[in-house]
Amino acid sequence: MDYRLEWDSGPKAIIDLHCIKDVFMLRYDGPLQLTLRRGVEELPITKEDLDERVDGIRKLAGSLGLAQARGAGSSRAAVDALAHLTFEGENLFNLVLPEAVANDLGANSLFIDIGTDEALIPVPWELMCDAGGFICLRHAVGRYVNLQQPLDLNRRLDQQGELRVLLVSVPQPQPFAGVTYEKLTEADKEYDLISKLLVDRGVDMMPLRGPDATKARVREQLHSDGPTRSSTSPAMATSTTKTPGGAGWCCTTAS
C-alpha cells in the first residue's frame, strides 16, 4: 500500500496594506524572510495618489463596458485596452510596493496573500503589473481582510428575520448561443453535502436544481420579498477573452 502526505505550507509572500487616518502602512513578508522580517513601514503616498490610480482603471473598465456605473467612452480595440490596463497596473504597482518588494515578486512564481482593511477592499490589487506582467497571471494570489471591529459584530444580520438560503445547482446547462458545456461531475455531490448541512441546521432552503434552475426562477427568488438570503451555487460559469463583458453564470435555460 502506498501513502502520500500532502502539506500546504501557506503563502510564500504576504502583502498587508492598511490605511489609518489617511496614512498608508505596509507589512511585507517575503519568501526568504521567514525569520528576518521587514517591520511595518509607512508608505510615502496619499489617498489622492491611490484614488488617481484606481480611477484610471475604473475609467478604462467603463470605456470597455465592464463597469456601466463608472462612466463610459468609445469601445477600444483589445490590444489598445490591454496596453492601457498594463500602464495603469504598473502605476498602481509602483505606487504601493517598495523596490525591495518588487524585486522579490519579480522572481519565481509565488503564492501571495494580499491583506487589506475594509476600506481598501475595492482596490483591484490583482491588476498590479510589473515588467513580467500582471501579478494575478504570474502568481497565485489570495486575499484576506483585516476587520475593523470584533468578528461577532460583523456576523450580525443587517435585516430582521431568519436566514434563508437559495441553493442552485446546474451541473450541465443546456447548449446556448452555440456553446456546449461539459458536466461538472462533482456538482451533484457538492449539492447533496450543502443541502444536508442546511437541513441538519434547520436553515430555510429553496432548492433550484437541474431543469428547475431557469433564469426566470432564479431571478424570481432573488427579487422576491422575504427574509435575509444567502446564495450558493455548484453551477457553471462562462467567459471569453473576446467579450469579457459577457461573462456570466449559466442556468438551465436562458428564459
Distance CA 236, CA 10 (A): 28
> Which residues share a beta bridge with 230?
165
Contact 111, 140 (CB under 8 A): yes
Is 118 inside any structural domain? Answer: yes
Q: Which pLDDT does position 226 carry in this prediction?
A: 55
Distance CA 13, CA 24 (A): 19
Q: What percent of the chain has pLDDT over 70?
A: 70
Each residue's pLDDT tens digit, 27-64: 988 876 656 677 789 999 999 999 999 988 888 877 76
* 131 and 192 part of one domain: no
**Regarding predicted confidence, which is higher, 110 or 107?**
110
* 99 and 134 part of one domain: yes
Is 81 inside any structural domain? Answer: yes
Burial 128-144 (b: 16+ CB within 10 A, else e): bbbeeebbbebbebeee
The mean pLDDT value for 94-123 works out to: 88
* 189 and 241 part of one domain: yes
* 146 and 164 part of one domain: no
Is 3 inside any structural domain? Answer: no
Distance CA 154, CA 160 (A): 15
* 110 and 180 part of one domain: no
Q: Using the predicted structure, report yes or no on whether residue 76 has a pLDDT greater than 60.
A: no
Distance CA 68, CA 62 (A): 6
The mean pLDDT value for 101-106 works out to: 85
**Regarding predicted confidence, which is higher, 229 or 93?**
93
Is 33 inside any structural domain? Answer: yes
Place of cell 503564492: 111
Name the domain boundary from 90, 123, 150.
Answer: 150
Give the confidence band of 213 by pLDDT, cuts at 50, 70, 90.
confident
pTM metric for this prediction: 0.56
Is 255 inside any structural domain? Answer: no
Give the confidence band of 91 by pLDDT, cuts at 50, 70, 90.
very high
* 220 and 240 part of one domain: yes
* 131 and 28 part of one domain: yes
DSSP output for 52-79 = HHHHHHHHHHHHTTS-GGG-------HH
Name the domain boundary from 150, 174, 196.
Answer: 150
Per the structure, the count of domains in the chain is 2
* 91 and 201 part of one domain: no
**Average pLDDT for the chain:** 76
Q: Which pLDDT does position 80 carry in this prediction?
A: 79
**What is the Cβ-side half-sphere exposure of residue 51, based on CA atoms within 13 angstroms?**
6
Distance CA 122, CA 155 (A): 20
Name the domain boundary from 120, 150, 180.
Answer: 150
> Please, is 104 exposed, middle or buried when counting C-beta atoms within 10 Å of its C-beta (0-12, 13-18, 19+)?
buried
Q: Which pLDDT does position 237 carry in this prediction?
A: 53
Each residue's pLDDT tens digit, 165-196: 888 888 887 777 677 778 877 888 888 888 88
Q: Using the predicted structure, report yes or no on whether residue 151 has a pLDDT greater than 80.
A: no
Is 66 inside any structural domain? Answer: yes
Tallying the residues shown for the chain, one arrives at 255
Domain hosting 55: range is 13-150
Strands 41-42 and 23-29: antiparallel
